[in-house]
Amino acid sequence: MTDFSSLGIEPKLLEAIEALGFQTPTEVQQQAIPILLEQETDIVALAQTGTGKTAAFGLPMLQRIDTNSRITQGLVIAPTRELCLQICKELIKYATNKKGLHIVPIYGGASINDQAKAVKKGAQVLVATPGRMQDMMRRKMINISAVEYCVLDEADEMLNMGFKEDISNILAHTPKDKLTWLFSATMPKEVARIAKEFMQQPAEITVGTKNAAATNIQHEFYLVAGRERYNALKRLSDTHPDIYSIVFCRTKRDTQRVAEKLIEDGYNAGALHGDLSQNQRDLVMKAFRAKQIQTLVATDVAARGIDVDNITHVIHYQLPDEIETYTHRSGRTGRANSLGTSMIIMTKGELGKIRTLERIINAKISEQTLPDVTDILNKQLQFLAQKIKSTEVNSEIGEYLPEVNEILADFSKEELIQRLMSVEFTRLHTYYQKKSNSMTPLEAKEGGKSAKARDTRYTINIGSRDHYDWQHLKEFLIDFLSFNPGDIYHVDVMDNLSYFNTATDKKELVLAAFEKFAIDGRSINVRVTQKRGQHIQKGNKFGGGSRKGRNRSRGGDSFGQFSKKKRSKGRGGRHK
Ligand code: ADP
Ligand code: MG
């Protein structure tokens, strides 16, 4: 069994971490510590949150620091004040037995003079946030010209928060021959880029899957005025006719009200909250499992412990009071190797929470625009058409048809299609024509147009013929482009080709990646398409079988089969 001493950790540090209860090194520690202790190399280390990255860089760094010198030799840069303090506290614990080793935190919101004083006493290690760090550099309170080890901790977060320039500026004041150790939970392109820019042939370690928890779930948020949450929920549901979702509300009252409204509007919805009797709750859950209920509206408490597979969407009608609850909610989807989407309906005032959430879930939450009426109508009609196309003709139906044929005898095929489609079209069209159901100009303009212009839609010449469904294609694209799940969206697979969207600032990257790309001698082309923002029914297979019972004449339930294929593919090969 590997232990810390066999990794080369010195007795003084060993004693300290033993006292902390560290017995076995974690995987990232096992891989990183020997390299960082023995080799004069830069490193890029990827490991999920909570895997012990602090000790992975902290122990080797503390061991290598010369305590006879008072010069600053080690610098750790972290994105936030909390992290900075946390890392600092942890390092100080490791260093308890190393007399004369001083570790000082540098962060905003506290007295700069006190920090300068602490540095002046002789701090060999600084743990700093980028802002305060630069402040003190400008005021010559800090000298990092002799730094030997520089750690960029939570590099993905720092880039997310826009610290690229700051990092670059800080590093410019350090010696060329220092070692740079980059630690990150995920490896978006931006991280790869700074690794390239600031590091020399870094060693690379990846522990586990890159962000295993997050890969299955795509996180999105939609900005609306508070009073329009319900309209937004409806649009999101309407644009996914095959949705199988849990909608979370904050209170029992909202839960009941939203469910009632959905039912009134013709959806297969049900409410689950603490004011229902056990018996009522059992019935609702039974119907939900049987997919007779497509949208379950629930409180956090009532939904605790629900384990239903193949939920396609978790919708946050409101963000939870306790922000950590978000993880529990969104974890209801993306289970058992299927992909899921977590959609937050929120107001501008709540925007600040997104950062915190991204930290907690360790994944990006991308801003999305609510589908407009054209999107919705397109989706619904395509869905109906596909449904008709893939319906198996019932062998018994013949004897019931003569009367039907008589009634419809005079219509041409075109007319029949028009009428058939109008059943759905008119209902939705009428609904969305109503003033009360349109979204306010503010939202439509600010969220809508600008967000849409920031989207680019592509075609790729791979389709269901090549045995791709949207999930597999999305996976392929994420993997191939090293994107995060949230970077690729609106994936629609047709027979011969497919569509997908990215943010427009990723366009060059996408196009460059597919330039001259071939699989088995067949060239794979990706082109920008004009049909921006439009997207059609996800999935290409529609389950057969008849539906039990009569349905109301509403899109979602009148042809609400669930098309998500159970995925059989393993998740291997995702990481390098
Ligand atoms: P990360 O930076 O990867 O998110 P941290 O370095 O903050 O993770 O470590 C997470 C927690 O695990 C901390 O409380 C830390 O003290 C503890 N820890 C780290 N390494 C070990 C170990 N080898 N054995 C037991 N606990 C550990
Ligand atoms: Mg950490």
SS3 338: coil
Atom of ligand 1 nearest to the CA of 22: 24
- Which tokens is 505 given? 């600032």
Let me know: does 156 contact 187? Beta carbons within 8 Å.
yes
Residue of minimum CA distance from atom 2 in ligand 1: 53
pLDDT tens digits, 141-171: 999 999 999 999 999 888 877 889 999 999 9
- Ligand lying closest to the C-alpha of residue 24: 1
pLDDT range class, residue 202, cuts 50, 70, 90: very high
Centroid of ligand 1 to alpha carbon of 62 (angstroms): 16
Q: How far is CA 308 from the centre of its chain?
A: 21
- Ligand lying closest to the C-alpha of residue 154: 2
Alpha-carbon dihedral angle through residues 364, 365, 366, 368, given to the nearest 10 degrees: 170
Let me know: does 268 contact 292? Beta carbons within 8 Å.
yes
User: Is pLDDT larger for residue 215 or for residue 70?
Assistant: 70
Q: How far is CA 472 from the centre of its chain?
A: 17
- Ligand lying closest to the C-alpha of residue 93: 1
Is a pLDDT exceeding 80 seen at residue 74?
yes
Supply the pLDDT for residue 337.
59
Residue of minimum CA distance from atom 26 in ligand 1: 22
Atom of ligand 1 nearest to the CA of 20: 16
Pocket test for ligand 1, best of 54, 91, 96, 127 (most atoms within 8 A of CB): 54
Average pLDDT over residues 271-276: 92
Centroid of ligand 1 to alpha carbon of 89 (angstroms): 12
- Rounded CA gap, 413 and 415, in Å? 5
Centroid of ligand 1 to alpha carbon of 110 (angstroms): 27
The strands making up 489-493's β-sheet, listed across from edge to edge, are 489-493, 498-503, 455-460, 526-528
Complete domains list, the chain, with CATH: 4-206 (3.40.50.300), 215-444 (3.40.50.300), 449-562 (3.30.70.330)
Is a pLDDT exceeding 70 seen at residue 507?
yes
Is a pLDDT exceeding 70 seen at residue 407?
yes
Is a pLDDT exceeding 70 seen at residue 176?
yes
Per the DSSP assignment, residues forming a β-bridge with 307 are none
- Ligand lying closest to the C-alpha of residue 207: 1
Task: Please state, rounded to an integer, the average pLDDT across all residues of the chain.
Answer: 84
- 472-476 long-range Cβ contacts below 8 angstroms, 24+ apart: 472/567, 472/569, 473/498, 473/500, 474/339, 474/500, 475/339, 475/574
- Ligand lying closest to the C-alpha of residue 17: 1
Supply the pLDDT for residue 218.
87
Centroid of ligand 2 to alpha carbon of 57 (angstroms): 10
**Residue that has been written with the tokens 């890029």 in this structure:** 44
Centroid of ligand 2 to alpha carbon of 56 (angstroms): 10
Contacts of 80 (CB under 8 A, 6+ apart): 129, 157, 359
Centroid of ligand 2 to alpha carbon of 551 (angstroms): 52
Q: Count of residues for the chain?
A: 576
Q: Tell me the one-letter amino acid at 137.
A: M
Count CB-CB contacts under 10 A for residue 203. 16
The closest of 269, 272, 257, 262 to 295, measured between CA atoms, is 269
- Which tokens is 166 given? 């700051």
Is a pLDDT exceeding 60 seen at residue 378?
yes
Centroid of ligand 1 to alpha carbon of 77 (angstroms): 18
What are the CA-CA distances from residue 476 to residues 178, 206, 517 (Å)? Answer: 38, 20, 14
- Rounded CA gap, 294 and 311, in Å? 9
Average pLDDT over residues 313-333: 86
Is a pLDDT exceeding 80 seen at residue 239?
yes
Decide the pairing of beta strands 269-272 and 313-316. unpaired
pLDDT tens digits, 284-296: 999 999 999 999 9
Residue of minimum CA distance from atom 20 in ligand 1: 52
Let me know: does 356 contact 348? Beta carbons within 8 Å.
no
- Which tokens is 394 given? 């019932």
Centroid of ligand 1 to alpha carbon of 351 (angstroms): 30
Centroid of ligand 2 to alpha carbon of 61 (angstroms): 15
Is a pLDDT exceeding 60 seen at residue 572?
no
SS3 297: strand
Average pLDDT over residues 461-479: 87
Q: How far is CA 25 from the centre of its chain?
A: 29
Pocket test for ligand 1, best of 1, 9, 22 (most atoms within 8 A of CB): 22
Per the DSSP assignment, residues forming a β-bridge with 271 are 297
- Rounded CA gap, 42 and 293, in Å? 54
Q: Tell me the one-letter amino acid at 428.
A: L
Pocket lined around ligand 1, Cβ cut-off 6 Å = 21-22, 24-26, 29, 47, 49-55
Supply the pLDDT for residue 13.
97
Supply the pLDDT for residue 305.
63
pLDDT tens digits, 359-370: 878 788 988 888
- Which tokens is 419 given? 């009428």
Question: Which sign does the torsion angle of CA 167, 109, 355, 153 carry?
Answer: positive
Burial class (CB in 10 A: 0-12, 13-18, 19+), 575: middle
User: Is pLDDT larger for residue 50 or for residue 446?
Assistant: 50
Atom of ligand 1 nearest to the CA of 21: 25
Centroid of ligand 2 to alpha carbon of 374 (angstroms): 45
- Rounded CA gap, 523 and 527, in Å? 13
SS3 391: coil
The closest of 525, 225, 483, 508 to 348, measured between CA atoms, is 225
- Which tokens is 506 given? 């990723």
Supply the pLDDT for residue 331.
78
- Rounded CA gap, 103 and 125, in Å? 5
Supply the pLDDT for residue 432.
83
Residue of minimum CA distance from atom 18 in ligand 1: 52
Let me know: does 120 contact 114? Beta carbons within 8 Å.
no
- Ligand lying closest to the C-alpha of residue 47: 1
Torsions phi, psi for 248 (to 5 deg): -100, 130
- Which tokens is 468 given? 């791709």
Atom of ligand 1 nearest to the CA of 49: 4
Supply the pLDDT for residue 1.
63
pLDDT tens digits, 15-49: 999 999 998 999 999 999 999 999 999 999 998 77
- Rounded CA gap, 268 and 266, in Å? 7
Supply the pLDDT for residue 547.
33
- Return the top range by mean pLDDT from 117-131, 206-220, 408-422: 117-131
pLDDT range class, residue 207, cuts 50, 70, 90: confident
Farthest-apart Cα atoms in the chain, separation: 100
